[in-house]
Amino acid sequence: MKGNMVYVAIASICGVAIGYRILHAFHFVIIASYFLFLFLRKRSILLPCILTTTFFSFYMFWIDYNNQTILPQNKTDFSVRFVAPIIIDGDRLKAVVKTKEKEKEKVQLVYRIKSESEKKELSHLTIGMVCSFKGMLESPEPLRNFYAFDYRQYLRFQYIHWIIRPQSFSLRQCRSTSLTLYEMLLSLRQQGLYEIAASFPPSTVGIVQALVYGERTEMDDSLLEGYQKLGLVHLLAISGSHVTLLVGACFYALIRFLTRETAALLLLCLLPIYIVMTGASPSVVRASLMAMIVLWIRYKKSSVPPLDAISWACIAMLIFQPYTLFQAGFQLSFIVSLALVLSSQMIDQCSSALSRLFLTTLIAQISALPFLLYHFFEFSLLSIPFNIVFVPLYSFVILPLSLVSLGAHYISELMGAFFIWGLEHVIDMTNRWVLFFAENRSLSVVLGRPSSYLLVCYGVAILFAFTQMERRRYGAFVYVLAVVVFHAIVPYMNRYGEVVFLDVGQGDCIYIELPHRKGVYLIDTGGAVSFPKQPWQKRNSEWDVGKNVVVPFLKGKGVRVLDRLIITHGDADHMGAAVEVIRNIQVKELFIGKGGTTHPLQASLVAAAKDLDITVKEVGRGDRWRIGDAAFYVLNPNKDGEPSTDNNRSIVLYAKLGPLVWLFTGDLEKEGEQQLIHMFPRLRADVLKIGHHGSETSTSQSFLQTITPKLAVISVGKNNRYHHPHPGVIERLKAHHIKILRTDEHGAIQYRYTKKTGTFTVILP
């Protein structure tokens, strides 16, 4: 099997995918094509590959079938053991714990800290403590929006099925216990992170923690976003270059005192500890396993092809944790490593170090392209030139200087201060570059998530380009460019239009896309209503509806330009995420209601829009536009600014989309409804967006009798503090035999249509 393990590794990947049962008929065609290739070209390893696929299929099925909870949902008394680092961020405490009763199941503990003194007390919680308390179990939230982060699946891949919320929490209910070796290493890692946070300048803490311990939680959100936009975030993950540098340095230091075999054996024993200490991310595990394989072969005085080493590492990771196949880190780490290994001869033939670096960067970026688009929906045109500059900077300056600074600090604080001073200046300079180019000239190309068919096109084009590169025919990259261009124009070939009500909690956000992408509009953006917090309550990382829901959705759809952003009125739950949207997506026109600039939130948005050269237009009753068969009419507010209340100044949009007529009402209340039907007594609509989230102050009897909708959509937050929608509104809708769709119960609501037909679907069953 020497030299052929890569085929077995691919077979193991096929087996895990089959066993997880996420495949469609098209995927089975791809797998069948792979085995047909083996039958025609590699018949000698066909049987081992078939056996490998069969084994991993049953193994994955068995793992997934048994990944079930045994905790009863009505359980209220708990005794748990802290088995992972405790994270206290503002007034929130999070940790993975394991129940001590007979179930011994991992759960995610989340506790809202009630006072500053309690926060100080709970900061003394450590790994290995056993605590008892009363609380309740709740199921993790399922995926509620398209292209959003699936928290329930994320926890399930860690064999966690419940979130536990204690009623109260105190160290008086806790006791310390002896630690396992694994927990000792986690504790040492946590102490190391605390030492960096306490001893290094704030601007360097996040990067040093990332490079030394693989931890990015302390990084500034805007800086981390900048690294992602420029395609540099891999530099902040411990990967092959880090492990190669450390193992190589340690090996050549050890052979000054030990034999090569003894040095290899010692490093072989230390690498598993290194994996735990650096967070055990897929890139760390992959690089460390490859290093361990090479060291073991060296210890045995043998040799192993690099392709076999990476293949064995892949198989070992899938045996230990098959769910890791579905992580972006695993996919990117292995595909880039595989591409570089296969291209090593070509890279070595380059005449200069600069040309080798350029070719290495080019191969890494192109091989990762379909995976980057699938998970992050975009790539940066600056990625290659920035990697050419930043890879050597991190590999030969920032990483070594971080390690030296930390080591010197432990030896002598005075000596460490000198190196830390130098490190701070280098990191400050690189951070300024990253933020400047990310905010002003990132040149990000948003293409959206590619379909399975497009992924195959990318794969074929990239494989063909690489094979032609080996023959010095670099023009083959035009085929990859052709797939990128095709990916960009696919939405303009789509005959379907869409209306999507995003689940933004207690707020509104409605996406409208016309067939063939002749127009893309967003009505409101959602946004949390903020309440005053004391300094100790403020979190480093707050959940943001713009960053976490709206912008990922738009980028996942491949939206590069919004033709119109329509802000119905100035409430934060309708426009709180608008600035985030215009910062990340190009907007041609911003529509606000007549007189809306008097509202402070809308005034600040208008100022931000003008800074970005976005056309701002105040609209009122009588404004209209038509594109193809789609027609839009603004029915409210009056152009003279009446009525006076902000909710009743909401933009009301009447739209003909496909076979249905829609009425989008913002937060219109009864007074505004009465004026509307007074002005338009024959107003009718098939679909009514219920005003003000189903508040009792909206959706009056006379309004429903006039509009006579067939379906009502209520955009409302799950378990919201206002108890919307009001039971009276639901009763009135049912009395008129109007079907109801609600974002709190159904998640995002989608309507896909053509000229004559359309279909409603919801993300939650």
End-to-end CA gap in the chain: 47
Given this model, what pLDDT does residue 641 score? 53
Q: What percent of the chain has pLDDT over 70?
A: 98
* Residue 377 φ/ψ region, left for φ over 0, alpha for ψ in the -120 to 50 degree band, beta for the rest: left
Mean pLDDT, range 77-86, rounded to an integer: 93
Check residue 761 and report its DSSP letter: E
DSSP 423-491: HHHHHHHHHHHHHHHHHH---EEE--PPPHHHHHHHHHHHHHHHHHHTTT-GGGHHHHHHHHHHHHHGG
Check residue 504 and report its DSSP letter: -
Mean pLDDT, range 65-83, rounded to an integer: 92
pLDDT at 374 over 90: yes
The better pLDDT of the pair 294, 714 is held by 714
pLDDT at 79 over 60: yes
DSSP 133-185: EEEEEEPPP---STTS--HHHHHHTTT---EEEES---GGGEE--PPPHHHHH
- Contact assessment for residue 51 and residue 13, using Cβ atoms and an 8 Å cutoff: no
Given this model, what pLDDT does residue 241 score? 74
Buried b (16+ CB within 10 A) or exposed e, 662-699: bbbbbbbbbbbbbbbbeebeebebbbbbbbbbbbbbbb
Strand 106-112 to 163-166 pairing: parallel
Mean pLDDT, rounded, of the chain? 91
- Of 235, 717, 199, 658, the closest CA to residue 434 belongs to 235
> Which residues on neighbouring strands pair with residue 713, listed in sequence order?
689, 741
pLDDT at 383 over 70: yes
pLDDT in tens, 652-706: 999 999 999 999 999 999 999 999 999 999 999 999 999 999 999 999 999 999 9
Which of 8-17, 406-415, 440-449, 570-579 is predicted least confidently?
440-449
CA Rg value for the chain: 29
Rounded to 10°, the helix 25-41/5-20 angle is 160
pTM: 0.93
Given this model, what pLDDT does residue 2 score? 67
Mean pLDDT, range 310-320, rounded to an integer: 93
Tokens of 244: 């190669």
Task: Name residue, tokens 């990253």.
Answer: 434
Mean pLDDT, range 487-513, rounded to an integer: 96
Mean pLDDT, range 132-142, rounded to an integer: 94
- The type of residue at 377 is F
Strand 615-619 to 652-657 pairing: unpaired
Strand 630-636 to 652-657 pairing: antiparallel
- Of 305, 371, 375, the closest CA to residue 344 belongs to 305
pLDDT in tens, 440-490: 666 789 999 999 899 999 999 999 888 888 777 767 788 899 999 999 999
Mean pLDDT, range 15-42, rounded to an integer: 86
What count of other Cβ atoms lies within 10 Å of the Cβ of residue 748?
A: 24
Given this model, what pLDDT does residue 283 score? 84
Mean pLDDT, range 224-251, rounded to an integer: 83
Given this model, what pLDDT does residue 245 score? 78
pLDDT in tens, 609-635: 999 999 999 999 999 999 999 999 999
pLDDT in tens, 328-358: 989 998 999 899 888 888 888 888 888 888 8
DSSP 125-141: --TT-EEEEEEEEEPPP
Given this model, what pLDDT does residue 441 score? 64
pLDDT at 643 over 60: no
Tokens of 479: 């085929």
pLDDT in tens, 298-312: 777 677 788 888 999
Tokens of 489: 């124009």
